[in-house]
Amino acid sequence: MFSLIVFGGTVVLLLLAVAVAAYVVLIFNRLVRLKHEALKAWSNIDVLIRQRHDEIPKLVESCKRYMTHERATLVAVLHARRAVAEASDARDMTRLGAAEAQLRQGLSSVFAAVEAYPVLQADESFRRLETRIVDLENAIADRREFFNDCVNSNNIRLEQFPDVIIARVFGFEPLELLSFDADDLADVDLRQLFA
């Protein structure tokens, strides 16, 4: 009888240990999934930033033919483009936010200056580039929001009990949100710029 009780107690303890281990594995896998979703979201932003990075020199070159007085604006766009690329490569969210603000401001200035150049406005290659860059800007804005959602979900899980215990044991770290100024969050109103 005593051996049956000991055997039953051992089975219960073994089942309890298996259940706890399975729960730890479940939490660990959930934390890994959230971390990789955030990394994937960042990669999607990076792809779009690089596409925009490739399009901006074409836009500037197209404008250079017509915009002789706005060289400083075009140079500012190219400098901001480089700053975005450097911050993106370094995965420095703070610098990226500031560089993105500079680039958006520079692009807004270019699009506003185009109004003085009717021939440039009518140029089909410029129109295609303008549309492409605006589409990329919208896609980047969508991806920024998705990235921040993923980072937020990850960071919440890292602070919730019992996930916080597993996260600390396995060295999971919170991720940094990509933040922008209020002006950067507003869409560029191209109609107003061309009015």
Would you write out the chain's pLDDT as a tens digit for each of its 195 residues? 667 676 777 888 999 999 999 999 999 999 999 999 999 999 999 898 888 888 888 888 777 766 766 777 788 888 888 888 888 888 888 888 888 888 888 888 888 777 777 777 777 777 888 888 888 888 988 999 999 999 999 999 999 999 999 999 999 999 988 876 655 545 555 454 444
Name every residue whose Cβ is closer than 8 Å to that of residue 67 and which is 6 or more positions away in sequence. Answer: 73, 74, 113, 114, 117, 120
Name every residue whose Cβ is closer than 8 Å to that of residue 109 and which is 6 or more positions away in sequence. Answer: 70, 73, 76, 77
Domain CATH code at residue 59: 1.20.1440.20
Number of structural domains in the chain: 1
- Residue 165 is part of which domain span? 2-194
